Structure 1
Amino acid sequence: GPVRLAPGQAVRIASGAPLPLGADAVVPLEHTDRGTARVELQRTALAGEHVRTAGSQAQAGETVLEAGVRLGARQLALAASLGLSRLPVHPSPRVVIVSVGDELVEPGTSRADGAVFEANGHALEAAVRDAGATPVRVGIQPDDRGRLREAFEDQLVRADLLLVTGGLSELAHDTVKDVLAPLGAVRFDQVAMTPGQRCGFGVVGVELGRDRDVPVFALQGDPVAALVQFEVFVRPALRQVAGQGEVFRPSVAARATAGWPSPPGLRQFVPATVLGSPEDGYRVTPVGVVGAPGVRSLAGANALAVVGEQDVAVQAGQVVHCLVLEG
């Protein structure tokens, strides 16, 4: 039968094993002389020490992992420790990333005059992964309607969402618009925001004989515009599709350390650094040239300061809402 202890008695058990009858404390082996027939404790054992009572981790019927929680190492440890071998989950959306432009070359290759290193595909690959989705970067596609249509048709088979960057310039005769518009319900608009005014969104697929429509976002070729558009439109959509509980980036209200102009009628997103704490309040400082942010500005920022359409300037000391990009 089960081991029963009298007062003053001890028995060696494995970590996490059920408590023997009559026992009311556990003493780690390293706090003893490791004796076998008799054991000497280095200090007095107190009732309840190193004992986990039944139900202390979780009560029957209690919710321990809410819907919308991303399953990382800590959450899986909890599920497994409770004996759960299967959990209902949202699969990670597969996002196919296509970069469009004759002028684009891969970083690490030689660059001819007028060529541009392809930054967006690599940046969006990381951004998609950070959002909790699975990126599939196709690489550079030329400004050729036939080849572009072929590429889109090929990629739609494996995409839960299609992310296209570049090819929206009027100088390029709207290559992406011309190709995507006939493939489904896709509209291209001037959005009242800066950077990132030119944008396309819709669904494609059924017209091509696919069994389902795939959402598509067309982002600008400028890396700063593309990443701002991703933050504002694509990231929340991806997190919703993935069943994430936290859809939006955290936002804080911060006082501007300096003033800057803002174009009327457009919502302005300014790369900025936010410093401070909930107790002392937050301060926000623009990074780089406001109105013409480059990738270096964005790389040095930890937030986007958001200025409303009705504002024509931000004054020093004014409270501005900021999307926090990272800690």
Structure 2
Amino acid sequence: MNFDKLLNHFKLDKPEFSFQFKSHPNYPSALAFSDTLNFLGIKNDAYELEKKYWEELPKEFITIYNNDFSLIKKEKQNFKLFSDDVKNISKEDLYKNTTDFVLLFEEIQESEAKNNLKFSYFIYPIFSIIFLYSVLFMNWQSALFNVFSIIGIYISLELFNKKFGKESSIIAGICGGITSNQQKADCNSIIENDKINIIGLKLADFSLVYFISVLVIGLFLPVTEGILKLLSYTSVLVICYSFFIQIFIEKTLCKVCLLIISLLAGQILVSSLFFGNEISTKLFFIPLFTFVVFNQAKRKIQKIGH
């Protein structure tokens, strides 16, 4: 293996790296490469990440390209590759000639953690305020509808973060707990088998957009009963799609998927029994606005740490 340009990029001494790498008990594995970088001060963590999630990777990461460890740097249209040489490659070339192995650097992850912490400080107090407002100042039907939305947002956020390699104890618990590896594998298989991809957004992303939208609209209940009833009816399509994947494709049930379906079904039931039919077309801009903002926010996540 020869990756001179990669080592030069990190300003690492080649003889020292070679000695440490080759003396590793797992040489020449990816684990040996990762451990050697860690030993020499380039802190990193290794992941197996399917190509469909590589759009979410930071601008700089290491993978195995044509059987060589290579540093990849995202540029505007293409990728710059540092291995035994430096060259520009296309996205198609990158995906075709690499494995699912990626190394992400600790400084990037620390920056992500800080941003996630700031986000938590911001979003969860808002959830609490909305919950109290709904319970104290709305009728029980409206409050229940909004509570379903809050739970849906929380679960959808956990699924969204899971795509970035962040394990969720909540999702793991729902999917069977830390001792039920088969149930967790079934959950992961169904979640990752999501074939929907609209301008980079998956079904879990749309779940987050949906619950945020109906929560915002739900703050104006009972004026917004009609549009919430209509939006809840459209979620039947999502329920059918999810059941199709679980029953006919994966042939197993996913508990976290069933939880989201239960929330959607609860909102359908509440809106159909207690909400009126009057609709203000102006409110349709809220889901559209949420979709646009979320898509932009998702793109910014890719830039965290740079």
Range class of TM-score, shorter chain: under 0.3
Task: From the two aligned structures, give the one with the greater helix fraction.
Answer: 2
Higher relative CO (Cα under 8 Å, sequence separation at least 6) belongs to 2
Task: From the two aligned structures, give the one with the greater strand fraction.
Answer: 1
Whose radius of gyration is greater, 1 or 2? 1
- The TM-score with structure 2 as length reference comes to 0.23
